[in-house]
Amino acid sequence: MKKFLAVMHARNMEFIRDRSSLGWNVLFPLLLVLGFAVVFSGEQKPLYKVGVLGDLARLDARDIGFFQTRYLQFIPVTDLDKAVDKVEHFQLDMLVDVREGKRYWVNGSSPGGYLLERILAGGSGSGFQRVEVQGRKIRYVDWVVPGVLAMNMMFSCLFGVGYVIVRYRKNGFLKRLKATPLNPFEFLLAQMTSRLILIEVITVAVYAGCNYFIQFEMRGSYANLFLLSLLGAVCLISLGLLVSARLSSEELAGGILNLFTWPMMLLSGVWFSLEGTNPVIQRIAQFLPLTHIVDGARAIMTEGAGLAEIAPHLVVLSLMSAVFLGVGSLIFRWE
């Protein structure tokens, strides 16, 4: 028992004296709770999303009833073609044009659209002309699978590279490599290539295995999807290398990596669409690599997007990769 207590006391003191790790274990849960409070707080969430073209202030009193219905979220839109496309793909439940020649668009296969039609007719909408659009229904599993695969890629890239290099530094392995002709860029590039090959093989295998049983929706090109996953993996690996460039504490490295992974899981549209959320949240999401991976993959798989449509995502991922890898190489230390 004395030996057990001595070892336990030594480990406790080792953790307590590591101020960075102790502080992070206290700070991270606090930041996580505050983040959930900011993202999900407020009034009860709306049940349906309605796009609105035009100014609601111009409506007559008899037509305004529908737009005062509780639990409906009215989202201002300016581009008619894009808004109609969102109705076709079930991203909007209804689109209403309140300008001259009042009309509304609804997907004939959408349960939400059916209910909103009833509410509009009962509230005031006798003067609105109905336009029905058709779109092949996207199952939730088809919509969510790009996010799940990208999330798995994120964890494998960040922890499989960043955490491992910190452990190498802590046990002295990197110190021994310092005596060799290997420079930091060559070492980091080798780590990136190794992880890239592994993660691509795993991701392709997981997708193919699941697709054999579930048969995912795939309207675009597999070549474009592979290219996007390749650049996305490079970007995430580069971020992991940047995090691990100078750290020597595994606990602190794990905390900082969690600081990146949790916001990306919440704000990158992995589990739910950010359509209609706070504009500030949407802008923050554009600075997260996972957002561009998920949005690009989802556009390819569910909308049939080509190389031109996903080009902005590819450019952003390439720029982020160059910055992360360049900065990581400059600040990297062996000891």
pLDDT in tens, 187-207: 777 877 888 888 888 888 888
Q: Which tokens sit at 82?
A: 């894009």
pLDDT in tens, 207-248: 888 888 878 878 888 999 999 999 999 999 888 888 888 877
Q: Which tokens sit at 173?
A: 């392995």
β-pairing, 72-76 with 94-97?
unpaired
Mapping DSSP to helix (H, G, I), strand (E, B) and coil, where does residue 128 land?
Answer: coil
Query: What pLDDT shows up at residue 125?
Result: 54
pLDDT band at 90 (very low <50, low <70, confident <90, very high): confident
pLDDT in tens, 11-66: 667 666 666 555 555 665 666 566 656 655 555 666 788 888 877 766 665 667 77
Query: What pLDDT shows up at residue 59?
Result: 67
Domains parsed from the chain with CATH numbers? 48-133 (3.40.190), 140-331 (no CATH)
94: pLDDT strictly greater than 60: yes
Is residue 46 packed enough to be buried (19+ CB in 10 Å), middle (13-18) or exposed (0-12)? middle
Q: Which tokens sit at 117?
A: 């039609």
pLDDT in tens, 289-323: 999 999 999 888 888 888 888 999 999 999 999 99
Interacting residues of 286 by C-beta distance below 8 A, sequence separation 6+: 292, 316
Segment 319-330 mean pLDDT: 87
Query: What pLDDT shows up at residue 16?
Result: 66
Q: Give just the sign of the alpha carbon dihedral 91, 93, 97, 101.
A: positive
